[in-house]
Structure 1
Amino acid sequence: MLKDMKAVLYYLAVDMRFSFMVFWSILLLSLTAMFFIVLTFDTTMVVSTSMAIYIFCGIAGFLTTRETFPYCIKLGATRNQYLFNVLIYCAVVATVFSAIHVIVQSMFGGLVKLSGSEQFIIFHSVESTTLANTWYNQLFVDMVICFLLLSLGFLLGTIFYRLGLIGGFGALALFAIMLLLPTTRNFLLDALVDMDGWKMRLNYVMLLIVSLLAFLPNWGMLRNASTLSSATR
């Protein structure tokens, strides 16, 4: 069983490798180019690298089922092993991306100080919360949010895989309706976020619980799922 788990995790890592390299290469090159533009043209730029990472994690989670589930099952993994390994995979990806993000922010923060120009500003999501803007808080907030988005993206990808376009867009429509209804919207906001002026006090324990609970529907949908998505059957 341990060998099967290692094999699934290895496959998931290999599947992520190319996207990982492309994403960080583009992000680093973009930040470098913007930094030199600020120095050259004496302009001001505010960049939110956190949003780029969050968007990538959401997309990566969404594509996980379609790109890895059929092949892992065909290679001999059970559905329970697959789901458990995806849970570990999401936690590892969230941790690795958050750690690299902290290093990148520290590196460009040092370049800004060396250049003597404070017109290149990298905004981190922790600055929107009540937590102090320290490296360990940056790491913690990124890990929680990345893990949440990977989990929700994986759930949405599984819905599309199992139920097709109708089921997927139906789930999105249902979620949108929930956000539009004052009762459910206020309940979600009260459970997850507490506004303190312009700052957010996030309920990190609840966010982690939601991330873990998001894996439960995947088990029901993938338990008897075919290795062909509903869109191709």
Structure 2
Amino acid sequence: MLNEMKAVLYYLAVDIRYSFMVFWSILILSLTAMFIIVLSFETRMIVTTSMAIYIFCGITGFLTTKETFPYCIKLGATRTQYLLSVLVYCAAVAAVFSIVHVIVQGIFNSLVQAGASGRFLTYHTLQATTLANTWYNQLLVDLIICFLLLSLGFLLGSVFYRFGLIGGFGTLAVLAILVILPNTRTFILDAFGSMEGWKLGVNFLMLVGVALLAYLPNWGMLRKASTVPGATR
């Protein structure tokens, strides 16, 4: 079983390698260009790199099922092996993105202190929480949020894969209606965090639990799923 999982993990790593390099190249070049503009002109910029990373993780998780599930099954992996491999894969991707993000932001913060006189500001999601603004807390927050978005994206991608566009958009519509309801919003806020002034106290253990529980429905949807997406059957 371990050999099969290693093969699936290798395939998943190869699949994301190009996207990973393109994403970080664009992000670093964009930050560099904005930093040069701030140095060259009397201007001020505020950049939040966290959101770009979170969006990329959500999209990556969503595309994982469609782009990798059929090929891994055809190559001999069982559905259980595939799901376990994806769980390890998502944790690894979240860890790598978190580490790279902390390093990149640390480098640019050092450059700002050296030459931009505080006119180029980079904000991290951590600064909106009650946690101390340290590099290890930044790493922890990025790791948990990236893992959560990868997990939820993978779950949503499995819904679209298994039930097609109707099932996928129907699920999104139901979720949107639930979020609109005041009782649901209150429950979510009470379960996952609380407001302390302008800061948000987040229950990160609860977020990890949700991320792990999000994998359970995938097994039910994919254990008898065809290697052809539902939208094309």
Q: If the length of structure 2 is used for normalisation, what is the TM-score?
A: 0.99
Task: Provide the C-alpha distance between the structure 2 equivalents of 1:42 and 1:144, rounded to a whole number of angstroms.
Answer: 37
In the TM superposition, what is the alpha-carbon distance from 1:70 to its structure 2 partner?
Answer: 0.2
Partner secondary structure for residue 38 of structure 2? helix
Query: 1:5 aligned to 2:5?
Result: yes
Task: Provide the C-alpha distance between the structure 2 equivalents of 1:169 and 1:112, rounded to a whole number of angstroms.
Answer: 44
Partner secondary structure for residue 200 of structure 2? strand
In the TM superposition, what is the alpha-carbon distance from 1:117 to its structure 2 partner?
Answer: 1.8
Q: If the length of structure 1 is used for normalisation, what is the TM-score?
A: 0.99
Match of 1:229 in 2: 229
Match of 1:58 in 2: 58
Is the Cα contact below 8 Å between 1:8 and 1:77 reproduced in 2?
A: yes
Partner secondary structure for residue 118 of structure 1? coil
In the TM superposition, what is the alpha-carbon distance from 1:116 to its structure 2 partner?
Answer: 4.6
Partner secondary structure for residue 23 of structure 1? helix
Question: What does residue range 1-233 of structure 1 map to in structure 2 within 5 Å?
Answer: 1-233=1-233
For residues 86-115 of structure 1, the C-alpha deviation after alignment (integer angstroms, 9 at most, x for no partner) is: 000000000000000000011001111111
Task: Provide the C-alpha distance between the structure 1 equivalents of 2:75 and 2:97, rounded to a whole number of angstroms.
Answer: 28
In the TM superposition, what is the alpha-carbon distance from 1:217 to its structure 2 partner?
Answer: 0.5
Number of paired residues?
Answer: 233
- Name segments (4+ residues, structure 1) moved above 6 Å: none
Task: Provide the C-alpha distance between the structure 2 equivalents of 1:87 and 1:31, rounded to a whole number of angstroms.
Answer: 31
In the TM superposition, what is the alpha-carbon distance from 1:201 to its structure 2 partner?
Answer: 0.5
Q: Which runs of 5+ in 1 are unaligned?
A: none
When the two chains are superposed, the root-mean-square deviation of aligned CA atoms in Å is 0.6
Partner secondary structure for residue 132 of structure 1? coil
Is the Cα contact below 8 Å between 1:39 and 1:117 reproduced in 2?
A: no
Q: Percent identity?
A: 70
Letter in 2 for 1:210: V
